Amino acid sequence: MTLLLHWKHKNLIFSFVGLVFAVILSQNQSFQQFIIGLGNYGYIGAFFAGMMFVSTFTIATAALILFTLAKTLTPIELIIIAALGAAMGDLLILRFVREDVIKEVGPIYEQIVGSHLKKILHTKYFAWTLPVIGTLVFISPLPDELGISLMGISEIQPSKFLVISLLSHACEMFFLVSASIIL
């Protein structure tokens, strides 16, 4: 186990293994039934569906759970709780990206891009663009991981990130729940 702790790119390797595991697990019928069964847990299921909504691999399942819950739960409460779950999921991903992945990818990034582009991106004229683009990614159908990475690079404060994530996901959940009620 201590050998794993000293690998140079352990988080990238774990991320890749986790990705492969998620794809394999998503093919399992029992696991699919368990995930869809989260919809039977009301607001707790809504919170977990919100957390699942931020990942590229679980967004479809999360949307299905939220569609199901929209028929039985109060829409406003569902939107708020699912948005809180999504913001919590984003915060966990940001922590992972900031504390682990950037340390590993940083030296590679420095070799490829160099310090000149990094200095330009962190000037007062460009520093605001990465969080704005990250917010647009949150609202768009693009994967949240991309927006989180952009915000992680921008070194945004976690409290500001949490507010942006919560508001963005509240808008997404509003449109999702509204669509499920209309359909």
Q: What is the 3-state secondary structure (H, E, C) of 97-162?
A: HHHHHHHHHHHHHHHHHCHHHHHHHCCCCCCCHHHHHHHHHHHCCCCHHHHHHHHHHCCCCHHHHH
pLDDT, tens digit, 9 for 90 and up, residues 111-127:
666 666 666 666 776 66
Average pLDDT estimate for 49-53: 89
The C-alpha atoms of residue 133 and residue 77 are separated, in whole angstroms, by 28
Range among 22-26, 44-48, 62-66, 100-104 rated most confident: 44-48
Which whole-number Å values give the CA distances from 5 to 8, 98, 116, 175, in the listed order? Answer: 9, 18, 32, 43
In the chain, how many domains are there? 1
Q: State the residue range of the domain holding 61.
A: 2-182
pLDDT, tens digit, 9 for 90 and up, residues 129-173:
878 888 888 887 777 888 887 787 777 888 888 998 899 889 989
| pLDDT for position 51 | 92
| pLDDT for position 120 | 64
| pLDDT for position 181 | 83
Output the average pLDDT for the chain: 78
Instruction: Kindly state the tokens that stand for 16.
Output: 């890749």
Comparison of pLDDT for 109 and 30, the residue scoring more = 30
pTM of the model: 0.73
Kindly tell me if the per-residue pLDDT of 39 is higher than 60.
Answer: yes
The C-alpha atoms of residue 20 and residue 143 are separated, in whole angstroms, by 17
Kindly tell me if the per-residue pLDDT of 47 is higher than 90.
Answer: yes
Kindly tell me if the per-residue pLDDT of 4 is higher than 60.
Answer: no
pLDDT, tens digit, 9 for 90 and up, residues 69-125:
888 889 999 999 999 999 999 888 888 776 666 566 666 666 666 666 666 666 776
